[in-house]
Structure 1
Amino acid sequence: MSASQTPGSQTPGTFGVTTTAAEVVDGVDLHGRRAVVTGASSGIGVETARALASAGADVTLAVRDTAAGDRVVARLAAGLPAGSGELTVRRLDLADRSTVAAFAAGWQGPLHILVNNAGVMAPARATRTPDGHEQQFGVNHLGHFALTTGLHRALAAADGARIVSVSSTGHLFSPVVFDDLDYRFRPYDPWTSYGQSKTANILFAVAAAERWADDGITANALMPGNIADTNLARHMDMKQVEEFIASGELALPPQKTVEQGAATSVLLAASPAVAGVTGRYFEDCAEAGPVTGRAGAVGGVAPYALDRDNAARLWHVSEALIG
């Protein structure tokens, strides 16, 4: 996909920490493009869908609760300018493999933008998906892996599709522990399990970038920021979070608004400034630098999350796990 825009109006470095999604798509023309945003019934998913539609893309909100999705569409449609893209809703429960397969099988025609945005964050108690996987790994990674590989033909048909994986600075909490992905032998911990799933999101982008380059597909991952007022923390024990922050184990960057939090997703999905960029990890609308340890880090990317051998191994393991 080559989003059209006035030449030279967007270049690397144009945007930053306080940039909003609307600013990213200002002047970008996405008419004729089709996009899917998972988890688009709340938080930055809504704002991502809004920004892409405002630039002319036809956007499908892939959500567990279609009634909530319909309410979002009605609200967005009322505020979008004339000439915006069409908004539709389809059911997708990333924990339920049958709905993932049905979504992919029901997609017709090319898909230009896929934003893997939905997620679960740090449930206080261990839970599992219906097929037995630890909830965060099962939803955040395996569900999106099954969806994206199921949509591969549609992405390849788009002539320049972009895949965007919403990760987190939480990936610094843990690499992918291949010997115990589902916490069957080690004690469950909400933060290392979240970290593992977010590392998996980055490794998936690294592997997809390499495997699907000949199809013209780019894939990148990102940290949206510390976003106020989202539904992501709905499963968390907030007392536990406060204790974790007080211990120094969890460092948080300054808060962003939802509009600012969606900006890096929209940059990777639509901006000419990153055309052809693939297999990278972004934060604050720029490629993130490496970090060597977790202590005190509020940004950057761990080397294990960009390791090509880890990425290839995770791809093969994920194929086996989803059958």
Structure 2
Amino acid sequence: MPLITTQFDATSTALDVVAGHDLTGKRAVVTGGGSGIGVETVRALASAGAEVTIAVRDPAQGAAAAQDVVGSTGNTTLRVARLDLLDLDSVAAFVADWDGPLDLLVNNAGVMALPTLTLTDRGWETQFATNHLGHFALTTGLHGALAAATDGARIVSVSSTGHLRSPVVFDDIHFADREYDPWSAYGQSKTANVLLAVEATRRWADDGIVANALMPGGIMTNLQRHVSQDVIDGWEKAQREGTVTFKDTQQGAATTLVAAVAPEFATGGHYLEDCAEARTVGDDEQTRDGVRAWALDPGNAQRLWEVSEEHLAQRPDAD
């Protein structure tokens, strides 16, 4: 089948994508909506009339972002709620506090390339715990709210070309027996983001819920705070040489909004980049674009879901 395209491209902005959409009465949650492409996702949704909850670890940052968005859009229905994806009690509290239907869940927050192996108090590698398991707990916890959306609901998983570096290594997710590598750890967490979209669509499409994943593009934000200066210098050199193109945050949020509202992606289970469906690339292909087959594999997706449920069942308060 031909790849799905839209009228938008790598230069489009989030505001371009939502122009003409009336989201009045729609309710959305954006994790990590206090900065970077997250706040531009919030701004675009708010500009189209949506009621947006900014889910952030730092409510003060979220409040500042909300004030900025209200000032630029005039939409006063924004809400800020605390959410720490590494703290499953925090995730549970967010879910318990949610009332009513939810039309759109944007799993945007994340952490990149922690330089040394860092484990949570449950023994989980921090990037996998933050980027996938926290979002998995949030997404499954909000299933009822998503299913209650009148016109169906969408989930958007912000992934990365980082997924090209590693599948989910099911036999050693948390680096107990293999040498830790920051980018492999990041890569498997970003593959997990795609697999979540694939399996959520398979499981929940009959409930009116579909999910898509995306690569927003290269954008310099707070996400890179753990990346070494040598790596950043290399990226900037590649940009000067024209081999890499960076986007601004409005352009970076555009593909998120395509995944969220474009009718072309209403079926779910897709991976997007530059506002269109990405090509599937071989596991050994050297590339900076496209989606690995391992990230779309339905068997991997089902296995990850089951493994994730097992992780959450190991919570102390579940004993």
TM-score, normalised relative to structure 2? 0.92
Secondary structure of 1:164's partner?
strand
Residue of structure 2 in register with 1:144 after alignment: 135
Structure 1 distance, partners of 2:236, 2:32, is 27
- CA distance 1:104–1:245, change in 2 (3 Å): same
Secondary structure of 2:281's partner?
coil
User: Which of the numbers 50, 67, 71 marks the counterpart of 1:74?
Assistant: 67
Residue of structure 2 in register with 1:23 after alignment: 16
Residue of structure 2 in register with 1:213 after alignment: 205
Q: Deviations over 1:232-260 (max 9, x none)?
A: 011222225557999xxxx9741001000
Q: Deviations over 1:80-115 (max 9, x none)?
A: 14xx36111000000011000100111000000000
Matched letter for residue 19 of structure 1: S
- CA distance 1:78–1:202, change in 2 (3 Å): same
Residue of structure 2 in register with 1:156 after alignment: 147
Residue of structure 1 in register with 2:94 after alignment: 103
Structure 1 distance, partners of 2:109, 2:234, is 26
User: Which of the numbers 104, 120, 130 marks the counterpart of 1:129?
Assistant: 120
Structure 2 distance, partners of 1:85, 1:33, is 14
- CA distance 1:44–1:235, change in 2 (3 Å): same
Structure 2 distance, partners of 1:224, 1:210, is 24
- CA distance 1:85–1:58, change in 2 (3 Å): farther
For the pair 1:226 / 2:199, whether they are aligned, the reply is: no
CA contact (8 A) 1:225 1:253 kept: no
Structure 1 distance, partners of 2:29, 2:41, is 10
Structure 2 distance, partners of 1:301, 1:31, is 34
Structure 2 distance, partners of 1:40, 1:319, is 26
User: Which of the numbers 288, 293, 297 marks the counterpart of 1:303?
Assistant: 293
Residue of structure 1 in register with 2:54 after alignment: 61
Deviation, structure 1 residue 298? 1.4
Matched letter for residue 198 of structure 2: V
- CA distance 1:174–1:219, change in 2 (3 Å): same
CA contact (8 A) 1:136 1:197 kept: yes
Matched letter for residue 260 of structure 1: Q
For the pair 1:259 / 2:250, whether they are aligned, the reply is: yes
Matched letter for residue 247 of structure 2: K
Secondary structure of 1:115's partner?
strand
CA contact (8 A) 2:58 2:82 kept: yes
Matched letter for residue 134 of structure 1: E
Matched letter for residue 297 of structure 1: T
Where structure 2 has 5 or more consecutive residues not aligned to the other structure, the ranges are: 314-319
Deviation, structure 1 residue 295? 5.3
CA contact (8 A) 1:96 1:130 kept: no
Structure 1 distance, partners of 2:258, 2:231, is 33
CA contact (8 A) 1:54 1:85 kept: no
Residue of structure 2 in register with 1:52 after alignment: 45
Q: Deviations over 1:267-317 (max 9, x none)?
A: 11122343x221110000000001114654111000010000000000000
User: Which of the numbers 244, 259, 279 marks the counterpart of 2:269?
Assistant: 279
Structure 1 distance, partners of 2:117, 2:297, is 28
Q: Deviations over 1:3-28 (max 9, x none)?
A: xxxxxxxx942111101000000010
Larger deviation: 289-298 or 35-44?
289-298
Structure 1 distance, partners of 2:243, 2:310, is 35
CA contact (8 A) 1:59 1:85 kept: no
Secondary structure of 1:213's partner?
helix
Deviation, structure 1 residue 125? 1.2
Deviation, structure 1 residue 39? 0.4
CA contact (8 A) 1:220 1:279 kept: yes
Q: What is the aligned length?
A: 306
User: Which of the numbers 290, 293, 306 marks the counterpart of 2:280?
Assistant: 290
Deviation, structure 1 residue 126? 1.3
Residue of structure 1 in register with 2:164 after alignment: 172
| Seq. identity, % | 57
For the pair 1:201 / 2:187, whether they are aligned, the reply is: no
Structure 2 distance, partners of 1:168, 1:295, is 17
Structure 1 distance, partners of 2:236, 2:309, is 36
